[in-house]
Amino acid sequence: MKALFRLIGLGLLAGLALQLFFVARIAVMAVVDPESTAFQRSEAYLVARNTGALKWRQQWVPYDELPDTLKRAVIASEDASFAEHDGVDMEALEKAWDKNAKAEQRAAQSASRLAPAKAAVRPVKIVGGSTITQQLAKNLFLSGERTLLRKGQELVLTLLLEALLNKERILEIYLNNVEWGEGVFGAEAAAQHYYRKPAARLGAYEAARLAVMLPRPKYFETRPGSGYLASRAGTIVARMGGVELP
């Protein structure tokens, strides 16, 4: 029994040490730009393993030099309440849960109407409710696995980011590290890759198209003529005027 308690105690100490490590890392990010994220390193490794070449395009741009068009477009597309919430948007989460529940119900009803031998129902598309801060927390430190433990750690990291960094810094780190295609990370690399121009010269529609790509950048990278991409970008442009910047 003593050995069990000792093991539990060591596990708790290890967990506490890990959280203190994260606190220190995030505190340093207030003044030092992160060189890479866990997600970037993972993606670069996978690409290098599959192709034999390291693909990594990235160039840091300070917050004041990032175009307001892109800031507004990304907030409008990814997290409309970014300037107001404390890292977690409960209203967005509730809407996502409700939408997912309804989608699963429709899928179940559709399957029940089909004969068992013909029931080849497409998997339900799960809608997320993650904020920009949550996405940054995941990309900076965590793996892509989906477990309750990982989600719990994501929540802790999200709260730490909001407590130790201001909104401008969170958005700056996000825009400079987020994936915009295979080996394409950050706004400057994305602007050069897709439009052959600096991020500072992006127009409203160009910025909106980049913002719409974010949930599935590799998919849209191979489908530049996507009708959805064009239509959704137009919607984001219309919303950009009402976005509050940090």
Q: What is the pLDDT of residues 190-228, one digit of tens each?
A: 999 999 999 999 999 999 999 999 999 999 999 988 999
Q: What is the pLDDT of residues 95-112, one digit of tens each?
A: 655 655 555 566 556 656
Confidence (pLDDT) at 6: 79
Q: What percent of the chain has pLDDT over 90?
A: 63
Pairs from 210-215 (Cβ < 8 Å, separation ≥ 24): 210/70, 210/73, 210/74, 210/180, 211/70, 211/73, 211/74, 211/76, 211/77, 211/78, 211/236, 212/77, 212/236, 213/180, 213/181, 214/74, 214/77, 214/78, 214/178, 214/180
pTM equals 0.85
The CATH T-level fold of domain 2-89+129-240 is Penicillin binding protein transpeptidase fold (1.10.3810)
pLDDT at 122 over 50: no
| Summary mean pLDDT of the chain | 86
pLDDT at 90 over 80: no
Confidence (pLDDT) at 121: 42
What is the mean pLDDT of the segment spanning 107-128?
50
β 184-185/179-181 pair status: antiparallel
The DSSP-derived string for the chain is -HHHHHHHHHHHHHHHHHHHHHHHHHHHTTTS--S--HHHHHHHHHHHHHHSS---B-----GGGS-HHHHHHHHHHH-TTTTTSSS--HHHHHHHHHHHHHHHHHHHHHHHHS-GGG--PPPPPPPP---HHHHHHHHHH--S---HHHHHHHHHHHHHHHHHS-HHHHHHHHHHHSEEETTEESHHHHHHHHHSS-GGG--HHHHHHHHHHTTSHHHHHT-TT-HHHHHHHHHHHHHHTTPPP-
